[in-house]
Structures are given as C-alpha cells and as structure tokens.
Structure 1
Amino acid sequence: MQRSRRHRITWTTSVVALVFALSGCSADRASVARDGEAAPAASGAETVPVRVDTPQLRVSTVASGLSHPWDLGFLPDGQVLVSQRDGRFVLLSGTSPGAAVTPVAADFSDLLARGEGGLMGLVVHPDFAQSRRFTTCQTHTENGNPVDIRLVTWQLAPDARSATRVADPLVGGLPVNPSGRHSGCRPTLAADGALLVGTGDTARGTIAQDLGSLGGKVLRVDLTTGGPAAGNPFADAADPAQRLIWTYGHRNVQGVAVRPGTGEVYIAEHGPTTDDEVNRLRAGGNYGWDPAQGGTVGGYDESVPMTDLTRYPDAVPAVWSSGRPVEAICGAAFISGPQWGALDGTLAVAALRGSKLLLMTLGADGAVASVGVPAALDDTFGRLRAVRSGPDGALFVTSSNGTDDVVLRIDPA
C-alpha cells in the first residue's frame, strides 16, 4: 500500500494563536487493519496539508432526549422536523437552544428498524408552505419481511401533530439487507430542484457496479413524479431503474452536499477498514467500488480499494480519503455566509466512529485542500450523524448514540 499522511489540527473555540511544528500534528494513515484483513491499494486521493488558522465557534444544544436523530428539515415557520431511525418524527419549536420537542404521529408499522436501517434521511419540499410535503428515505417490509428501501412523500397536518403518506413509494425498489447493513440513505435537493439520493450497496458484492440496481449509487429524481430528473446520464436506458442513476460504484453514501454558487455535488462515503471518501460527483461517473471484482469472486471482498483504478482506470478519484483509521463519515453540508469569515465555503462532514466534525476547505480545483477538527466537536458529543445548514446560515449537527441524543447549533463566535 502506498503510504501517505493525513494532517489534522484541532481548532480551538478561544482566541488563541496556534504555534506548532508540522511533525507535531500529523497522524500516520497506515495504522493496523482489523485482524486478518489485507490493506487495500491506494485510491488516488491526494495528501491533505495542515491548516493553521483558528476560527472561533459557539456550540449550543437546541434539543436533547432524542434517539438516533437521522436528519433535519427546516420549515418556513421556523420549526424543524427531525427523523429518528427507530421510526419517529418530532418537531422542534425553533432553532435556538431549549426548543420544545413535540411528537408527530405517523404510521411506521411497515418499517424495518434494524441495524443501520430504519427511518433515515429527510428533505422538505421547496413548496412546503403550500403543499406541506416532505420526503423521507426508509426501509419497508410486507408481512414482516424486508422488501426494499424506498422514498416516501408525506404531508404534515395543518396543526403539525401528524403526518400522512401521499406518495408511497415516490421511488421504490432500492435494495435492502435484512440486517439493515449499508442502507444509505441521504436525500438532498440539487441547485436545480432535482432530488439527489445517496444509497448503500447493502453489503452485496455486485450491486455497486450493477446499473440495474439502485444500490451503491447516487440517484437524481424528479421530486414530484419520482421519475428520472431531466438530463440524467442514462435517460435513454431500457431499464427504468437505470434512468434514475446519476453516479455509481459507491459503497455506502450517507452525506450529500451541494456547493453554494456552483451547484457542484459532494458526497461522504463510508470506507471498509481504510479510506472513507469525499467525492465530487460527475454525471455518469463510476467511483470504483467493486467488492465482487468484476464478478470474479463470490461474497463481499472488502480488501479491494474504495476506488479501484486498476480494474477501472476511468473511475473518478476521491477528492479526500481518510486513510486509516476510518472515521465513518456521514452527513455533510457546506458552511455558507459572510458571518463565517474564513470558514465561508467550508465543507462540514460528521463522523460516527470518529465522533467528530471535520471541516474541509476546498482548493481552486475543487479538491480538499485542508482538514481541521474544532475542539468543541472533537469527541465531546459522541457519534455525529446529520449535518445541515439552517435558513439563517447556522450549522446544525445531530449526535447518534442511541440515548439522549442532541441537536446542536453551531455559529461563529
């Protein structure tokens, strides 16, 4: 394995100048793999240099007492809709600390809440003020048996105390693993209004490279009809499922972020024992994950590279790779607004295993130029899952520990 170094600096929340040697803030990316697992080959991501400025952050708790809050949707009236993995919605009265938490009744009798599956990502429709609609990504069972992962469109009642399904499914047929493993599933609105959906490969070897499957992909969907969005790269395919695909060759996409001002799409993707990836999407691109090695091996061989440039020389290299240890990166969103100063335009990425928030600056070429971790969000709230930018420019992050989870608000101090 080619060895490289990932430099990390802890950003403080006090006004303190950081003076240190580069050798004091680097971490070897080639730490030991799990027992019996070989190290994959390099995936082509560049070494990321250290960043030395020290922006101030203020972190406050908006709400607590939640269980695996998976995603957040901001409503026009200032309230916040939250999905919880076990199959519950709650509504927060606002985005300030101490918000009231109100349950929202909804029928989840068909939900498979197991492992990594359940009620997952959520997106509020742009016309919510009129339609009161939002769409979720969730596992689905029939007669107790797992059937698929699907996008479901809901309508919130006028009193906001209940929600009913109005399109079930909006899109169906995403593969599901009965264990819930590698379920994805993050929906985000693109700059042109299309619905982008990051999906997981359900830990099955052939799915990521299979253009007949919606797993291990980023889909691009018409939010109203559930059909392919205009301009999709496989729009002329005979298979209706393939027409929905924007990119393929992914392992488990759990973060989708749209860069303000450019409309570029970046995703956060789980690696196996090495190389979580941040990828910049290119229509029709293959991102090189293939644990079936072109169908030459059975099962799910996780020793292959995340981006296999040997088997797929035209695969799109990652713009950032974690090396070892993996962080299990999850939700992602761009920080935007002049109030953020030097952090304006930074990509914020949550880490589950790493229990931290990664702040990534991008270079002129769109690749990650530097990575930092604010001290206030470095193993202080446990596993972090959702990251969304609020309507006032504040950043919102959820923890995902299972008990007494929180919604955090992050502002420049």
Structure 2
Amino acid sequence: MTLKINISVMLLIFSFLFLPVTQAQRIQTEFDVLLVAEGLQFPWGMAFMPNGNLLVTEKIGQLRIITPDGRVSEPIKGIPAVLVQQQGGLLDIALDPEFSKNRLIYLSYSEPEGSRASTAVARAELKDGNLENLQVIFRQWPKTEGGVHFGSRLIFASDGNLFITLGDRGDYSEEAQQLSNHIGKIIRIRPDGTVPSDNPFVNNPKAKPEIWSYGHRSVQGAAIHPKSGELWIHEHGPKGGDEINIPQPGKNYGWPKASYGNHYNDIPIKNEHAEQGFEEPIHYWTPSIAPSGMVFYTGKQFPGWRDNLFIGTLAGRHLVRLTTDNKKITNKEKLLINTLRFRDVEQGPDGALYLLTDEENGKLLKLTPK
C-alpha cells in the first residue's frame, strides 16, 4: 500500500530568487509526497509500461519491475555486463514506440573492455521477466579510462528516431570538439542502430555519422517538447555552468572551450560562446545544481503545471519547476528543498509525477495533488 512520507508533505510553492514572477504565478499549489517503493540500489532511470508497471534500472547492473501498489520484482535476467564504477553502471531505459507489439526495451550502460569503458546502448525483448535476443545497437567510440561522464539518457522523437545523450568521459583535451569521435556528443540513430539519412554529418567522411550535435560535457537529462517536438537537454557544468540547451543538428555547444563555470581548479573558462562560433545555452545555473532527469509535464492532475519542465537535482537536493515561453525560461521554482538527491523524474500514466532518489536505499516517490 502506498504510504505518505515525511518530506515536506505539504509544500507552498513560491518564487525562489533569480527571475521576476507575476502575482498569478504565486498561486499556492499543495501536493502530497507518497512513498511507492524503497530498497532500490542507486536507481537511475525509469519507463512506464502500458499496463502501468514501471521498469527501473539500478546502477549496480539490475533492472526491476515495480507495480502501481509498490511491489518490487526480483532482478530481470539477461542484463549485459556493465562497468560499475563511480558514475558508471546500468543507466537509462526507454520503451520502443511499438512496445505493445514488439516488447522491445532499450538500455544505456557503461560497457567495459579491459580497463577501458564507454557508453553503449542495447535493445532486447522483455518476455516473462527475462531479456531475450539482446543486441548492442550503439557503442560510444573510443573507449577510455575512468568512471565518469557517461551521460546518458535515451529519448525517442516523434519521427521514431532515438536520441542518445553522451558525456565527455572526463576528457578536457577538446575531444568533445572533434567530429571524428563520439566524446561529448548527442547521437541520433534509428531503433535498429542504423543512421538516418538526414543526420547533419552523414555525408562528411571525417565525422561520425551518428552525431547530431557536439561540444557537450555530460548530458543526464533529455525530453521532447510537447508542442514543438524538439529535443531539450540539460548538462552538467564543472564548477558552475549547468546548462539547458535545445540542440540543433550540426551545432556546436562549446565544451570545453566555453562554459559559465570554472574548472575544478578554479581556472576560468571563457563564457563567450557566440564569438567563438558556439551556441548559447537558453539557461544556466552557477553555482552548479547537478541536474539529472527531465520531463515536460502534460498530465491532468496538476493543471497549473501543464507544459512546465521538471528537473531533478543531485547536489542541489531539490526538484526544479521551470515555466517556458517558446525557447525561453520565464520562471523557476524549487520544490522539495534540501531533501534528497533526485536522479530521475517522470510523468506516470495516472498524471502524477514520479521521482527516483539517488541513494543505496533508493526510493520511488510520487507527487499527487493535496
């Protein structure tokens, strides 16, 4: 049975610094925070199935099914081998647009090869609690040392193509600026791993044809805008400079030559994007909030939140609600302040918001109207 938990159970939402807010935007919204399930091992990504059950990845390399009443399954068999190190492990999950017919799911994970690793994406059929006919459809190249900055979110566009967000693997030598590799890139492929003919670099023999955009650091949030159909992402900056971008085909977003943050050793990074030929983010945070997970809300339970953008934060330990106007952020609010590290946020088929907490005893939480 779903239980209430004591995390600011009733919140009065109001504007938090930074941006002007109208009187209408100060209207209080009250909601309950419900505990659906707990005991998850560093949960990372989630995807709702048509029957209302939820697939949840655990970074330690396990995949589970959680029922609407909070029952957690045994780990699903057939998961590929993953590197569980620092930020590496089993990461995101997505359902095929034709899941009801083909039972295909997609997993992103850190794939080891000796002492090296990179982000890979595999798809498989989910049958009777097992994964069958697993096929790796993408491998980030090259594999490198280290356990950080794998990305990685999976999101299907309305045209049926799959976006894969990647990281720079902790590389600061401008590999994210090179089209000859997948370091620090957004990838666009077909569900079977082949390359769409209209990808921006498909006719460039010196470029990886899967690349959609480049110059990214570590992208852990992605969502399709409900009206424009465009891909929105957010990415981690270093010491400050977390960004929201709307990556356009073939465009360069600057990392590591431009950022609104400093390197960890406090050496400044140029923030002049345009003068260097880079795209400006539509929004950024300094100091860093460490964003993770991202969804546009389109449900009916919270009419005042329709088309708002929700982002979980790790270092920030709160949930962000953003209002938008076209390609601009017009207001932002903090919810569940100073509570937990939120790894992912998703809208359920019931119109509620669901959150995964980033911890050894990870929780699945549910936000419903008071």
Same fold (TM over 0.5): yes
What residue number does 1:346 align with? 308
| Partner of residue 227, structure 2 | 261
Distance 1:61 1:71 in 2: 17
Shift of 1:138: 0.9
Where do residues 391-402 of structure 1 align in structure 2 (5 Å cutoff)? 391-401=349-359
Deviations 1:350-370 (A, max 9, x none): 10111110000002x411111
Residue from 204, 218, 227 that aligns with 2:194: 227
2:302 corresponds to which letter in structure 1?
A: W
Deviation at 1:16, TM superposition (A): 6.0
**Cα deviation per residue 1:384-413 (whole Å; 9 max; x = unaligned)?**
111122223322110002x21111122333
Aligned match of 2:279: 316
Which amino acid is 2:273 matched to? L
2-side partners of 1:165 and 1:113: how far apart?
A: 23
- 5+ unaligned residues in a row in structure 2: which ranges? 1-7
| Secondary structure of the corresponding residue to residue 26 of structure 2 | coil
Matches within 5 A, 1:270-349: 270-291=236-257, 303-305=267-269, 308-309=272-273, 312=276, 314-324=277-287, 326-349=288-311
Alpha-carbon deviation of 1:54?
2.2
Listed one character per residue, the Cα deviations across residues 253-312 of structure 1 (whole Å, up to 9, x for unaligned) are: 00001111210211111011111111122221111112599xxxxx99874548542662
Is the alpha carbon distance of 1:384 and 1:311 closer, same or farther for their aligned partners in structure 2, counting shifts above 3 Å?
same
Q: Is the 8 A contact 1:291 1:300 kept in 2?
A: no
- Whether the aligned pair in 2 keeps the contact of 1:104 and 1:163 (CA below 8 Å) is no
Equivalent residue, structure 2, for 1:379? 338
1:146 equivalent in alignment to 2:116: yes
Asked whether the equivalents of residues 208 and 216 of structure 1 are also in contact (C-alpha less than 8 Å), the reply is yes
Are 1:182 and 2:149 an aligned pair? yes
Question: Residue type of the partner of 2:235?
Answer: E
The residue that corresponds to 1:411 in the other structure is 368
What secondary structure, in the 3-state scheme, does the structure 2 residue paired with 1:242 have?
Answer: coil
Provide the rounded CA distance (Å) in 2 between the counterparts of 1:196 and 1:106: 26
Match of 2:126 among 144, 152, 156: 156
Give the Cα separation in 2 of the matches to 1:17 and 1:273: 28
What SS is found at the alignment partner of 1:104?
A: coil
CA contact (8 A) 1:307 1:316 kept: no
Counterpart-to-counterpart distance in 2, 1:127 and 1:288: 36
Q: Secondary structure at the match of 2:74?
A: strand
* SS at structure 1 position matched to 2:213: strand
1:342 shift after superposition: 2.1
Q: Which residue of 2 aligns with 1:368?
A: 329
1:150–1:174 CA contact under 8 A, matched in 2: no
CA-based RMSD: 2.6
Structure 1 residue ranges without an equivalent (≥5): 1-11, 27-46, 294-298
Distance 1:304 1:285, change over 3 A: farther
Alignment of 1:71-86 (within 5 A): 71-86=45-60
1:156 Cα deviation (Å)? 1.1
Q: Distance in 2 between matches of 1:105 and 1:116?
A: 22
- The verdict on how the C-alpha distance between 1:179 and 1:165 changes in structure 2, with shifts beyond 3 A counting, is farther
Q: Is the 8 Å Cα contact of residues 189 and 210 (structure 2) preserved in structure 1?
A: yes
> Using a 3 Å threshold, how does the CA distance of structure 1 residues 306 and 330 change in structure 2: closer, same or farther?
farther
Query: For residue 90 of structure 2, what is the aligned residue in structure 1?
Result: 119
Which of these residues, 176, 186, 190, is aligned with residue 208 of structure 1? 176
Correspondence 1:37-116 to 2 at 5 A: 48-50=19-21, 52-94=26-68, 98-108=69-79, 110-116=81-87
Instruction: Provide TM-score, normalisation by structure 2.
Output: 0.88
Gap change, CA 1:356 and 1:292, over 3 Å in 2: closer
* In 2: Cα distance, 1:180 partner to 1:372 partner: 32
- 1:103 CA drift (Å): 1.8
Separation in 1, partners of 2:80, 2:100 = 28
Could you tell me how far apart the structure 2 residues matched to 1:177 and 1:311 are?
31
| Cα-to-partner distance string for 1:179-235 (whole Å, 9 max, x where unaligned) | 311111111111222111110001112221111111211111101x20223421112
Q: 1:15 to 1:163 in 2, by over 3 A?
A: closer
| Structure with the larger RCO, 1 or 2 (CA within 8 Å, 6+ apart) | 1
